[in-house]
Homo-oligomer: A and B are copies of this chain.
Amino acid sequence: MSNIDLLKSNSLKATPQRLCVLDILEDCGHATLDDIQTITREKFPTLSISTIYRNLNEMIEKGIVSEIKITRKQHFEISKEKHLHLYCKECGKLEDFDFKTESFTKEIEKLANCKVLNDVVNLEIICEDCLKKHNK
């Protein structure tokens, strides 16, 4: 589904500003507010920060976009299938990792008698590259 359809199917108009934000999230995987502001400014010098906030909040409410609460600066991404976020505390890299979390969450559901909503689990790590540096 194109980003245009994604917006329309959530009764949001496909404005250039919204598409621009979605394109950035698609290209970068995840972006902070600063990232979004910097990149959008190149295309739309007049695009206002309040529009970014407003649109992100709307798209989060509709479930099109998700917030990633792992670093102090929050990141945003286009909502997608169950996966992991691996954030390297050493080099600051934030990556998606394709991993079905079901078997983990199903176990919790059984033990705690609850329904787990997360499609995403966030983990702080030291990444492969940084581990290699340690061993040198």
Binding site for B on A (CB under 8 A): 69-70, 84, 86, 88-89, 97, 99, 104-105, 108, 111-118, 121-128, 131
Beyond known contacts A69-B69, A97-B108: 15 more, CB 8 A cutoff: A69-B122, A84-B108, A86-B114, A113-B128, A113-B131, A114-B125, A114-B127, A114-B128, A114-B131, A117-B123, A117-B126, A118-B123, A121-B122, A121-B123, A122-B122
A101 to B44, CA, bound (A): 45
Instruction: Name the prevailing secondary structure of the A interface residues.
Output: mixed
Minimum CB distance partner of A95 in chain B: B112
A71 to B69, CA, bound (A): 8
